[in-house]
A and B are shown apart, each in its own frame.
Chain A
């Protein structure tokens, strides 16, 4: 089976869809000839043609605006926003237009677009190349928000996103592009080469939107994570030698609430992780849901581990990042509660 990095897996998903469906095209800043600043579209222009993989002006609102018009006209555009930090000029087009077009026209028009954008820190990107704005989008009815944690899922989820009749925001944890990352920045980087989840089948396959992945099964505690934090969770559980249910959500909307509920009812303890800022983060939603559905099964207060309510700092990156130390403390608190 081919070995791929997450970049290669994402590229392969687009390549597969572009080869089988002439309505699929991709565009964004530096996406065309150059192949994207993270190389996710490298070679697609040469293979599929200038009009199917092309550069756009530096204009996020414009990129999403044309994507909506194209999608309403029957195409399946995959628009790249170079960094999620740059997505805000397009917020009106995403939240008020793409997400609501089907509703406001009662199904007369729809905008099945896919928006790919790198999220998260760990690359010394500072305040403008590290953000995780997922909760600004999970709050928007009509939109789906997806975040893979490995190459296999990335390809299968991206193909599902492109095939979805709903608009999908596809968040790519940039620290995971080239290898898994357990949150310990002092150990050397590892690549996806040789990793089980770097084995990516060629051709078309899908991973269903809205189905979580069970990373590990255990009985002591449930750790809910997505994106980069999945790997931090796994490292912490291993280091502590605990028996943990680790759930990689993969999709925030639609959410696999059944998987969460079943796990927390089994373990009675729950820790929720995300890299984004704390207040009104997606963790708040997850805590509410667990409380609503599992209250009488809980044996400890739900813990939440997040980034701080600050902009993502540059030099203080690892003080901001919710790494193994912060996660370990929360897991211990949850386990030690009476």
Chain B
């Protein structure tokens, strides 16, 4: 399966196993049906989770059965809500992607294949737990009941944009939903989340912080800062690495070499470490609940690697067919997160194909209607837009005279 390398010196440069034109074969990645590691007490010593960083926590089998010690005690209602939120997230992504292609917004990023990570995670946290996300966790906002209209307005930079056109699409900020302003400089949020968590502890509160990065940005210094400070100050937080295999065009081996586990990065820092099947919403829920309980009770931070696959391009500006086989997503051995939760719900008699189809249709309709409302408020290049003068606002709480003078200069420029 390994390709002939074209290296012409002893210096090693890792390459993904498959490139466009290859037939991808992931049979070498084991899908551990019965090898899910045991669930230790959430207040265990960190070293008791060292093996968890190298294994894979799974709850759902592909046939919809559940197995192992990590099965969360969730009602069918909660599972159905998770399925609903994942489907709604996907429906919104699809609509927004299509609208970007029609020129309605400058940019968009889908989270296809990763809906279980965001929705499963959010479902396991309290609403007063603060999320420091990166750009593919829109499912958290959906799960927490954020207004899809406001999200769309942000993407369209229209007159209803809560950020008034200051930021590019998808880089949301929703304090009212415990969702920190997303930075385009990757990784910076990780250490900020640790600071937020330290402040929660300082105030003697038991709410926690949870932060996300893709596997690619674990190579930033901020990831190291975050793990180190989280360990030193036993910060009540969760550090999530979404390993979706691809950082734009770089396969995960570029971020850390061809090791086995991003979760294992936490071991050397003395943090608890879990590695979870990110396409298994119940496993994500279970791992998050464990880490949240540990953090809340003063046990410190956990690094969770969510092992998944980015089914679509990095963004609307990306063309993955240039660097990976077109059908790689289909042969990825962990299936689709929506299909898997659906199969489970059907298996336990709490769901059926008809209801699923109706829900998909309903989600699509809701998204379409919401989008219509959003577009009525303008798009990035037409209709009612944000007043240009708002660009001078929110630079400072107390703006310097020089900035106020520039606003006057702009006024004169307009004539």
Give A contacts to B, CB under 8 Å: 25, 51, 56-57, 59, 61-62, 65-75, 77, 89, 92-93, 96-97, 101-110, 112, 141-142, 144, 164-166, 210, 253-255, 257-258
Q: Which residue among B229, B396, B397, B403 has the maximum number of chain A CB atoms within 10 Å of its CB?
A: B396
Contact of B195 among A73, A96, A166, A210 (CB under 8 A): A73
Q: Scan B174-193; emit 1 where CB is below 8 A from any A CB, else 0.
A: 11000011010100101111
B290 within 8 A of A: no
Among candidates A62, A68, A105, A253, residue contacting B163 with C-beta atoms closer than 8 Å: A105
Given contacts A61-B225, A66-B195, A109-B175, whether A96 and B164 have CB atoms under 8 Å apart is no
A-B contacts counted at CB < 8 A amount to: 151
**Residues of the B chain whose Cβ atoms lie less than 8 Å from the Cβ of A68:** 192, 195
Closest chain-A Cβ to B74's Cβ sits at a distance in Å of 30
B233: min CB distance to chain A, Å: 8
Query: Do B225 and A104 touch (CB < 8 A)?
Result: no
Q: Give the CA-CA distance A210 to B132 in the complex, in Å.
A: 34
A163 → B minimal CB distance (Å): 11
User: Are the C-beta atoms of B173 and A69 separated by less than 8 Å?
Assistant: no
> Which listed residue, A65, A73, A253, A257, touches B188 by the CB 8 Å rule?
A65
Give Cα A176 to B406, complex, Å.
Answer: 35
Known interface pairs A66-B195, A103-B166; A109-B173 also in contact (CB < 8 Å): yes
Task: With A51-B202, A61-B222, A104-B173 as known contacts, state yes or no: A70 contacts B195, CB within 8 Å.
Answer: yes
Asked if B401 lies at the interface with its beta carbon under 8 angstroms from chain A, I say: yes
Name which residue of chain A comes closest to B185, CB basis. Answer: A96
- Given A61-B222, A92-B185, A106-B164; A142-B396 close (CB under 8 Å): yes
In whole angstroms, what is the CA distance A255 to B406 when docked? 14
27 pairs of residues in contact across A and B, judged by CB atoms under 8 Å: A56-B229, A62-B229, A65-B188, A65-B192, A65-B194, A65-B222, A65-B225, A66-B195, A66-B198, A67-B195, A68-B195, A69-B195, A70-B199, A72-B180, A73-B130, A75-B199, A92-B188, A96-B185, A97-B192, A103-B166, A104-B166, A106-B163, A109-B173, A109-B180, A112-B397, A141-B395, A210-B400
Q: Which of B163, B164, B198, B221 contacts A70 (CB 8 A)?
A: B198
Q: Give Cα A141–Cα B395 distance, bound, in whole angstroms.
A: 7
Please tell me if the beta carbons of B181 and A69 are within 8 angstroms of each other in the complex: no
CB–CB A66/B397 < 8 A: no
Apart from A106-B173, A253-B402: 4 A-B pairs, beta carbons within 8 A: A62-B191, A69-B192, A73-B130, A93-B188
- Pick from A74, A101, A255: contact of B199, CB below 8 A: A74
CB distance from B295 to the nearest CB of A (A): 15
Find chain B residues with CB under 8 A from A92 CB.
185, 188, 222
B309 lies within 8 A of chain A by Cβ? no
Known A57-B232, A105-B181, A210-B401; judge A69-B197 contact (CB<8 A).
Answer: yes
Interface string of B385-399 (1 = CB under 8 A from A): 000000001111110
Q: Contacts A73-B200, A104-B171 known; A253 to B195 CB distance under 8 Å?
A: no
The smallest beta-carbon distance between A13 and chain B, in angstroms, is 19
A97 to B188, CA, bound (A): 8
Chain A residues with CB below 8 A from B316, complex form: none
Q: Does B313 reach chain A (CB closer than 8 Å)?
A: no
How many B residues touch the partner, as a band?
35 or more
Name B168's closest neighbour in chain A (CB-CB): A104
Q: Which residues of A contact B163 (CB under 8 A)?
A: 104-106, 108
Cβ contacts under 8 Å, B174 to chain A: 108
Name which residue of chain B comes closest to A95, CB basis: B185
Bound Cα distance from A103 to B229, whole angstroms: 27
Report the nearest B residue to A109, measured CB to CB.
Answer: B181
Q: Which residues of A contact B162 (CB under 8 A)?
A: 106, 108
Name the A residues within 8 Å of B398 (CB-CB): 164-166
The minimal Cβ–Cβ distance linking A260 to chain B, given in whole angstroms, is: 11
The interface residues of chain B lying within 8 Å CB-to-CB of A102 are: 394-397
Distance of B218 from chain A, by nearest CB (Å): 15
Q: Are B395 and A62 in contact (CB under 8 A)?
A: no
Contact pick for A257, options B132, B222, B401, CB 8 Å = B401
In the assembled complex, the CB of B60 is this many whole angstroms from the nearest CB of chain A, namely 35
Instruction: State the CA gap A253–B395 with chains docked (Å).
Output: 13
Taking a contact as CB atoms closer than 8 A, the residue among A59, A66, A70, A106 that contacts B166 in the complex is A106
Residues of the B chain whose Cβ atoms lie less than 8 Å from the Cβ of A70: 195-196, 198-199, 202
| Whole-angstrom distance between the Cβ of A284 and the nearest chain B Cβ | 15
Instruction: Say whether A62 contacts B228, CB under 8 Å.
Output: yes
Q: How far is the CB of B53 from chain A (nearest CB, A)?
A: 22
A25:B183 contact, CB within 8 angstroms = no
Q: Which A residue's beta carbon lies closest to that of B183? A: A97
Candidate in B163, B180, B181 with the most chain A CB atoms within 10 angstroms: B181
Note all chain B residues with C-beta closer than 8 A to A61: 191, 221-222, 225
Pick from B183, B225, B397, B401: contact of A165, CB under 8 Å:
B397
Cα distance, A107 to B163, chains bound together (Å): 8
A164 to B400: give the CA distance in the assembly, Å: 13
Contact partner, A253, options B164, B221, B400, Cβ 8 Å: B400
Q: Please name all residues of chain A whose beta carbon is closer than 8 Å to the beta carbon of B221 when the two chains form the complex.
A: 61, 89
Question: Given A59-B225, A97-B183, A106-B394, does the pair A72, B401 have CB atoms closer than 8 Å?
Answer: no
